[in-house]
């Protein structure tokens, strides 16, 4: 058997070795009569679909990075183990994608070289394991983190136009090995089936932009103002969360509101703390080891002031940005203590920013006394009441009566028969569509969405017209002067037409070129077959 044009024997041997884990030369191959069977084709299709399956998972993994800090906190609460699991996820996914991509490239090269696709059993086992692992990952995501499916739908508004171009390009390149296979195989039914499937997929891709929508498909002069930034627990990527250092770092990021969480100590002092336990953000296990598992509200203010609320930030490094802190910031972090609400209000007043907070825990038996203690501190602080944004739903009417100047923020959408019109809402970013955001904006309702860390997500919400976003990454979003991309609809239409036409012409060229090459090879192969038949007849005689 002659070596296929454009593929030398050492190259073919090397490809076979990597794909089939056997060092087979083309002569041995001819003697053994190795050919690509239907089973081999089935394994190649399985490889292709597992690659696509894992590629989709990689997309999801990148999308959920926006919310992965919540997952890290969840694991810590369950296992008391802190680790940046996003790094583990990305490395594992990248390894799987690389392995599958190498196998796929080897298979396509073997097909172009006219070599058999004999996948080794070890690769088959790893393929099945990869499919099971990715399926388990998707299942876990759907059970424990179902809201991320909505995040994926939002992400398509940012990536849809570019995913379309990339997928069209990838399917266009696939025309070369497909045409090579079609012109080599003698199975007419298989030829028709593959061509039909490929044509249907390409037609769907060519028309896909009809279903692609994005708020960023607009004219430059239609772009809404940039959303205001609200520091989620301050600036938690630059300083320990819910500390005065974090508040001042958020001020440096030009945030307009400091978002925090308030609890009330056993002796009635409101203080800043998110978790019901103190173990994650303080050294309570060292200072009060026998009381470490108690609720934060079980400690009096004197005990709370003994705790270090900053060193954990340097030890656990909850965000990669911790590594780039200056020596001065590192020293300042080690000196942080749990701040009282009074101290936070004083700092907010001096910095001329607003403060928004939840009062926790909502199911506490003394919650009304927590509300009273918090209101008392607010009224005595001297901060202008319009700078205080009240989130808790419990005893809201009492708050309106005692502090009518405090701005009420609601954690729900408006109702149809709303007696008192909402002026401010605070919701998860995946709970509101672009259409709802635009409608609220037209009705002069301020919409704040949380927690928004990634520039792509901030860009989509910016184009949608959201009023503000709560973020961990204020230092990143502060530098954004414009959404990542903004395209007029007419420009996108032109790109769509050009990409589809270029793809169609490339596919047509690939099939015509490979058809001409196959026609040139046929006379040579026919003469070779005749010669081999004569030699075989002479040997038999």
> Looking at residue 3, what DSSP letter applies?
P
Instruction: State how far the Cα of 367 lies from the Cα of 359, in Å rounded to an integer.
Output: 9
CB 134 within 8 A of CB 57: yes
Q: 354 forms bridges with which residues in the sheet?
A: 257
Note if the bond before 361 is cis, omega within 30 degrees: yes
Task: Please list, in sequence order, all residues whose beta carbon lies within 8 angstroms of the beta carbon of residue 317, skipping any fewer than 6 positions away.
Answer: 84, 323
pTM of the model: 0.89
Instruction: State how far the Cα of 322 lies from the Cα of 49, in Å rounded to an integer.
Output: 40
Q: Where are the beta strands (DSSP E) in 354-474?
A: 354-359, 388-390, 407-408, 424-428, 446-450, 468-471
Tell me which residue of 56, 86, 153, 146 sits closest to 460, measured CA to CA: 153
3-state secondary structure 252-321: HCCCCEEEEEEEECCCCCEEECCCCCCCCCCCHHHHCHHHCCCCHHHCCHHHHCCCCCCHHHHHHCCCHH
Label the pairing between strands 257-264 and 270-272.
Answer: antiparallel
Half-sphere exposure of 242 (CA within 13 A, CB side): 24
**How confident is the prediction along the chain (541 residues), in pLDDT tens digits per residue?**
344 444 566 777 777 788 887 654 444 444 344 677 888 888 988 999 999 999 999 999 999 999 999 989 988 988 888 888 999 999 999 999 999 999 999 888 887 777 788 898 999 999 999 999 999 999 998 888 888 899 999 999 999 999 999 999 999 999 988 888 888 777 888 889 989 999 999 999 999 999 999 999 999 999 999 999 999 999 999 999 999 999 999 999 999 999 999 999 999 999 999 999 999 999 999 999 999 999 999 999 999 999 999 999 999 999 999 999 999 999 999 999 999 999 999 999 999 999 999 999 999 999 999 999 999 999 999 999 999 999 999 899 999 999 999 999 999 999 887 777 889 999 999 999 999 999 999 999 999 999 999 999 999 999 999 999 999 999 999 999 999 999 999 999 999 999 999 999 999 999 999 888 777 765 544 555 555 565 556 655 5
Instruction: State how far the Cα of 491 lies from the Cα of 182, in Å rounded to an integer.
Output: 37
In three-state secondary structure terms, 500 is helix
Tell me, what's the pLDDT at 3? Answer: 44
Tell me, what's the pLDDT at 32? Answer: 47
Mutual angle of helices 38-63 and 85-112, in 10-degree steps: 150
Buried b (16+ CB within 10 A) or exposed e, 149-159: eebbebbbbbb
> Looking at residue 31, what DSSP letter applies?
H
> Looking at residue 459, what DSSP letter applies?
H
Tokens of 304: 């709370």
Task: Please list, in sequence order, all residues whose beta carbon lies within 8 angstroms of the beta carbon of residue 399, skipping any fewer than 6 positions away.
Answer: 371, 375, 390, 406, 408
Instruction: State how far the Cα of 164 lies from the Cα of 150, in Å rounded to an integer.
Output: 20
Tokens of 324: 């780039």
Q: In the chain, what are the domains?
A: 8-24+36-145 (no CATH), 231-446 (3.20.20.190)
Q: Quick one: how far is CA 66 from the chain centroid?
A: 6
Half-sphere exposure of 476 (CA within 13 A, CB side): 20
Tell me, what's the pLDDT at 28? Answer: 46
Residue-wise DSSP of 177-240:
HHHHHHHH---HHHHHHHHHHHHHHHHHHHHGGGG---TTBS-GGGPPPPPEEEEETS-TTTS-
Instruction: State how far the Cα of 241 lies from the Cα of 428, in Å rounded to an integer.
Output: 20
In three-state secondary structure terms, 333 is helix
Q: Which residue's structure tokens are 């073997």? A: 110
Tell me, what's the pLDDT at 31? Answer: 38
Tell me, what's the pLDDT at 25? Answer: 46
CB 232 within 8 A of CB 451: yes
Tell me, what's the pLDDT at 518? Answer: 75
Tell me which residue of 405, 422, 404 sits closest to 413, measured CA to CA: 422
């Amino acid at each position: 058997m002659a070596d296929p044009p454009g593929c030398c024997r050492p190259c073919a041997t090397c490809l076979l070795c990597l794909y089939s884990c056997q060092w087979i030369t083309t002569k041995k191959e001819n003697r053994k009569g190795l050919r690509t069977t239907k089973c081999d084709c089935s394994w190649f299709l399985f490889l292709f679909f597992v690659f696509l399956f894992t590629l989709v998972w990689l997309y999801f993994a990148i999308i959920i990075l926006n919310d992965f800090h919540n997952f890290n906190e969840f694991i810590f609460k369950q296992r008391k183990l802190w680790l940046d699991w996003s790094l583990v996820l990305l490395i594992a996914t990248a390894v799987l994608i690389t392995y599958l991509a190498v196998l796929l490239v080897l298979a396509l090269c073997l097909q172009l070289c006219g070599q058999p696709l004999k996948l080794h059993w070890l690769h088959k086992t790893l393929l099945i394991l990869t499919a099971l692992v990715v399926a388990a990952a998707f299942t876990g995501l759907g059970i424990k983190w179902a809201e991320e499916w909505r995040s994926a739908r939002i992400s398509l508004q940012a990536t849809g136009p570019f995913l379309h171009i990339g997928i069209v390009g990838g399917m266009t390149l696939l025309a070369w090995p497909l045409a090579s296979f079609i012109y080599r195989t003698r199975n007419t039914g298989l030829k028709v089936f593959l061509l039909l499937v490929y044509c249907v997929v390409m037609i769907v891709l060519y028309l896909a932009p009809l279903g692609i929508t994005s708020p960023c498909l607009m004219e430059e002069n239609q772009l809404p103002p940039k959303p205001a930034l609200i520091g989620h627990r301050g600036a938690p990527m630059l300083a320990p969360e819910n500390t005065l250092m974090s508040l001042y770092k958020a001020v440096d990021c030009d945030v307009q509101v400091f978002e925090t969480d308030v609890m009330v100590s056993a002796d009635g002092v409101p203080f800043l703390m998110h978790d019901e336990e103190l173990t994650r953000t303080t050294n309570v296990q060292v200072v009060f080891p026998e009381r470490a598992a108690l609720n934060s509200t079980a400690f009096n203010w004197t005990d709370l002031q003994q705790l270090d609320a900053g060193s954990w930030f340097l030890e656990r490094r909850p965000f990669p940005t911790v590594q780039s802190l200056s020596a001065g910031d590192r020293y300042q972090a080690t000196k942080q203590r749990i701040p009282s609400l009074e101290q936070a209000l004083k700092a907010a007043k001096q910095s001329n920013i607003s403060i928004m907070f939840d009062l926790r825990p909502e199911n506490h038996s003394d919650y009304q006394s927590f509300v009273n203690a918090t209101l008392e501190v607010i009224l005595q602080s001297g901060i202008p009441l319009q700078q205080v944004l009240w989130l808790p739903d419990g005893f809201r009417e009492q708050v309106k009566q005692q502090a009518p100047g405090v701005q009420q923020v609601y954690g729900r959408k408006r109702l149809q028969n709303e007696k008192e019109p909402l002026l401010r809402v605070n919701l998860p970013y995946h709970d509101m569509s672009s259409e709802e955001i635009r409608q609220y904006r037209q009705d002069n309702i301020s919409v704040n969405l949380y927690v928004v860390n990634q520039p792509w997500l901030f860009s989509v919400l910016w184009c949608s017209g959201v009023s503000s976003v709560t973020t961990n990454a204020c230092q990143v979003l502060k530098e954004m002067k414009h959404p990542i991309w903004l395209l007029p609809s007419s420009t996108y239409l032109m790109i769509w037409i050009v990409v589809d036409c270029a793809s169609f012409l490339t596919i047509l060229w690939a099939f015509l070129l490979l058809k001409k090459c196959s026609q040139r090879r046929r006379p040579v192969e026919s003469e070779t077959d005749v010669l081999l038949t004569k030699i075989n007849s002479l040997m038999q005689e």
